[in-house]
Structures are given as structure tokens and as C-alpha cells.
Amino acid sequence: MKTFHGANISQHHSRHSNIAVSYRSSSHTRHLAQPPAGAKPLKILSKASVCLIVASGTLAGCTTADPTAYAGLASAHHLKADPSDRSGRVPYRYNSGANWRQYDKVIVDPVTVYRGQDHQFVKVSQQDKNALASYMHSRFTQELRTRFSVVSSPAPGTLRVHLTLTGAKTTMPVLGPFSHLDVGGGVYNAVQAARDKEGSMTGSVAYAVEIYDAMSNTLLSAYVTKQYPNAMNIGASFGALKASQVAIDKGADALLAQLRP
């Protein structure tokens, strides 16, 4: 009986010793796990970077899709897949082989906001659509004026350019700029820039360009395209519509380059 009692005492003492050791070990671990005061923000930033990389990878599949031959366009039945376009920016095009040297004047129609079911607007308000359409008309007119006389009535040697805004995506607030300033987001965007692809969480536009002979109303050229800023363009990530506006600027430059003799 004494031996049994002694064993109980021994086991009881052992359990208390284990508890004491466990408590001391746990306390020591907690003490060691506490980071220095200056290291805490760095740890939080690291977690944010990881979250951003995961989010960027997820949202990359949620960007606006490549443009299509939108059914509601007047030129829809003329548009064909363009095998020469490796960028994916201009997947459908029609070209009659017109000689642009014959034209020195241009009419720029008011920009149409596309309302077909196959539009590619991603949570863009009507107010923002109208703002982008107005900006597009202004920028394209400004750019074309460097090559043509901008007129309002048809005459020999006059082109008529009709633009249709078919899709847009605004920049995500906070995450858009952060994805360009954060280390993890910077790596992702650097890769996207090298591939000439969209940056993370930034805006873009899709639109159609239809070019007519103003006198005969003959379709000379048409294409649908998607434009977006360079993925490393930090400035374009500030403001919901800034990236879309930068994309429109690039589109205006591209059209002017096409129409130069």
C-alpha cells in the first residue's frame, strides 16, 4: 500500500513537474515569438504582399475579355479574325486597302456608347461611360487634327471616323495603386509589362473604330481593340478612370499611326 501510495505521489509530482516545464517552455516560446518593435510593420507588409500576389493571380482571370466582333456594330459582318495580330489587342479587323494619301480632311462622329448584350463593361456606371466617351471624342479629334483638317461636312478627300465604346473596367480603389507600390505587386506587374499584358487591378477600355469615305459612305476600314496602360505605369493606377483615359490616349496614337501616308 505504501509503495502504491508512493507511486501515486511520484506520478502526481511528475505531472506537476511536466506542467511547470510546459508552462515555462510556453512562456519562453511566447517571449521568443514576440518580434522587435520595429519589425512588426515589416511582418504585416509581408503578409499584405502575399495576399496581393494571390489576389493578383485571381483577378488576372477577372479582367475584361478580349474584344469580339460585337453584333451591334454596323461593320460586324465585315470583321474577320486578324491572324497577324499577336498582341491580342486587335483581334478583329476589316481593311479595304484604301489609299490614305487621298484624304486630308476628317469628320469625327460623336462617340457611341455600346448597349448590346455582348458589351464588355465591368461595373461601370452610366456617368463614367459618358465621361469616357466624351474624353475619347476629345482625344481622338485632337490627335487626328495633327494629320487632317477636322471638318463637319462631307467633301472630296474626307474621312468619317465613327468610334464606339464597347467596354471598360475602372481601376480598383486602394488596391490599384498599392499593387504598383508593393514589392509583390511590382514583381507581378513587371512580368505583365514584359508580356505587354494588363497590370493588376487597373482599368482598360474596349472600343470599335469604323472609317468611312464621307462622300460615298463606303466602309474603308474597321477594327475592334482593347487598350490598357503599361503594367508598370504607376501614375495610371491613381483614380478610377485614369487608366482608361491613358488607354484611350494610346488608342488615339495607334489610329493616327495607321492613317499616316
Tell me the C-alpha distance between 78 and 95, whole Å: 9
Tell me the C-alpha distance between 192 and 236, whole Å: 15
* Same domain for 105 and 29: no
* Same domain for 128 and 188: yes
* Same domain for 115 and 17: no
Who's near 135: CB < 8 A, 6+ residues apart?
Answer: 241, 245, 248
* Same domain for 70 and 9: no
pLDDT string in tens for the chain (261-residue length): 444 444 444 444 444 444 444 444 444 444 444 545 554 444 444 444 444 444 444 444 445 578 899 999 999 999 999 988 877 789 999 999 999 999 999 999 999 999 999 999 999 999 999 999 999 999 999 999 999 999 999 999 999 999 999 999 987 754 444 444 444 445 544 544 544 455 555 788 999 999 999 999 999 999 999 998 854 455 445 457 888 999 999 999 999 999 998
Number of neighbouring beta carbons within 10 Å of residue 33: 7
DSSP state of 118: T
Question: pTM above the 0.95 mark?
Answer: no
* Same domain for 135 and 88: yes
